[in-house]
């Protein structure tokens, strides 16, 4: 059984900050959800995201929709375009660089407070956003609702890096979606290749409010739950030679804690997913429908396999 990080609850309290989810930007949502299923995840049905109208009118489309694979701690998401909006045009620009992960979201207890802190830390911020999407809750129509704190485009060139506060935990993490044939239980790390490690580390430290620990491949920010690994491009290529860098910066993958690595291998390895052992973990390339990058499956979420190489 994976040793999930010490804070074993879904949402943060006080000043805590968690790695909440990452998102693949994809062109074909049906192919992407089939790819998740083929790798042993249990994706939720597709849904269209909207912003509620403050005046009480009809909700307005954000321009994107999603499907998710929900874990006991955190989740992964596929995002796809649904309408022409400013947000979907940013989606278009990102996926033109490469299809794959372009979003990392950090959960906080109070998005408004984090929004103020980001401004005080020197980031150009956008107004707080109230976002929601429809879903089924026990056979009845329900809503997943979030408050998002975002920075202006270009402030975090790695992608859509944002804070959020969940307002409907029970609706989002329904027990029926938490079991996965591959044994996934938690999202634990996001791995990013960058041009300038020192600059990226300083910026992410300002963004998250957490210091980084340098190592010879780059640096790691330790959150209250989860990790952000920033690596120099040449170090990344040495550690992950099977993953060509399509462009920099490159949100190259994420680590998933699993119950049993042999169980995961039996499921993930039955399809055309390239896998290899890496220390006490396994690297599995994303199927093409999910874009460039890889999963790092491990029973030891607090340990990075490249730590043995320092």
Q: How far apart are CA 109 and CA 17, in angstroms?
A: 8
Quick one: what percent of the chain has pLDDT higher than 70? 95
Which structural domains are found in the chain, ordered by start?
Answer: 17-177 (3.10.180.10), 184-271+284-304 (3.10.180.10)
Quick one: what percent of the chain has pLDDT higher than 90? 81
Q: How far is CA 66 from the centre of its chain?
A: 13
The distance in angstroms from the start CA to the end CA of the chain is 27
Could you tell me the pLDDT band of residue 269, with boundaries at 50, 70 and 90? confident
In terms of residues, how long is the chain? 310
pTM above 0.85, yes or no: yes
Query: Which has more pLDDT, 47 or 37?
Result: 37
Q: How far apart are CA 286 and CA 265, in angstroms?
A: 14
Query: Which has more pLDDT, 279 or 165?
Result: 165
Q: How far apart are CA 97 and CA 301, in angstroms?
A: 30
CA nearest neighbour of 11 among 21, 3, 2 = 21
**60: helix, coil or strand?**
strand
Give the pair of three-digit tokens for residue 93: 């620009």
Over residues 242-266, the mean pLDDT reads 96
pLDDT in tens, 157-206: 999 999 999 999 999 999 999 999 999 999 999 999 999 999 999 999 99
Strand 75-81 vs strand 17-25: parallel, antiparallel, or unpaired?
Answer: parallel
**E strand spans, the chain:** 17-25, 47-51, 60-70, 75-81, 100-108, 129-137, 140-150, 160-166, 184-194, 212-215, 218-222, 227-232, 250-258, 275-278, 281-285, 294-298
Strand 129-137 vs strand 218-222: parallel, antiparallel, or unpaired?
Answer: unpaired
- Cis (ω within 30 of 0) for the bond into 302? no
Over residues 280-288, the mean pLDDT reads 95
CB-based burial label for 247 (10 Å; 0-12, 13-18, 19+)? exposed
Over residues 35-56, the mean pLDDT reads 86
pLDDT of 64 reads: 93
pLDDT of 245 reads: 98
- The chain-wide mean pLDDT, for the chain, equals 92
pLDDT of 272 reads: 62
**Contacts of 103 by beta carbon, 8 Å cutoff, 6+ apart:** 21, 22, 23, 25, 77, 79, 159, 160, 161, 162, 251
């Amino acid at each position: 059984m994976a040793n999930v990080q010490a804070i074993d609850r879904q949402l943060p309290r006080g000043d805590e900050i968690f790695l909440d989810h990452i998102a693949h930007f994809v062109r074909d949502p049906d192919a992407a959800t089939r790819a998740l299923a083929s790798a042993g995840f249990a994706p939720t049905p597709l849904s269209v995201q909207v912003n509620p109208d403050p005046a009480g009118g009809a909700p307005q489309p954000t321009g994107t929709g999603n499907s998710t694979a929900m874990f006991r701690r955190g989740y992964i998401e596929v995002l796809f375009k649904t309408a022409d909006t400013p947000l979907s045009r940013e989606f278009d620009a990102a996926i033109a660089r490469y299809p794959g992960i372009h979003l990392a979201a950090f959960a906080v207890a109070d998005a408004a407070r984090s929004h103020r802190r980001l401004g005080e830390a020197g980031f150009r911020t956008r107004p707080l956003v109230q976002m929601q999407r429809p879903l089924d809750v026990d056979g009845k129509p329900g809503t997943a609702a979030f408050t998002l704190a975002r920075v202006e485009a270009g402030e975090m060139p790695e992608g859509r890096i944002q804070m959020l506060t969940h307002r409907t935990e029970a609706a989002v993490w329904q027990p029926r979606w938490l079991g996965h044939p591959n044994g996934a239980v938690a999202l634990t790390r996001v791995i990013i290749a960058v041009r300038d490690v020192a600059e990226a580390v300083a910026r992410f430290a300002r963004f998250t409010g957490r210091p980084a620990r340098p190592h010879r491949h780059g640096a790691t920010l330790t959150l209250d739950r989860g990790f952000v690994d920033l690596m120099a491009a040449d170090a990344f290529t040495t550690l992950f030679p099977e993953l060509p860098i399509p462009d920099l910066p490159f949100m190259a993958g994420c680590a998933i804690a699993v119950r049993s690595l042999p169980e995961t291998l039996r499921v993930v390895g039955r399809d055309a997913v390239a896998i290899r052992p890496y220390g006490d973990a396994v690297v599995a390339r994303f199927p093409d429908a999910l874009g460039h990058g890889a999963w790092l499956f491990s029973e030891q979420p607090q340990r990075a396999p490249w730590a043995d190489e320092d």
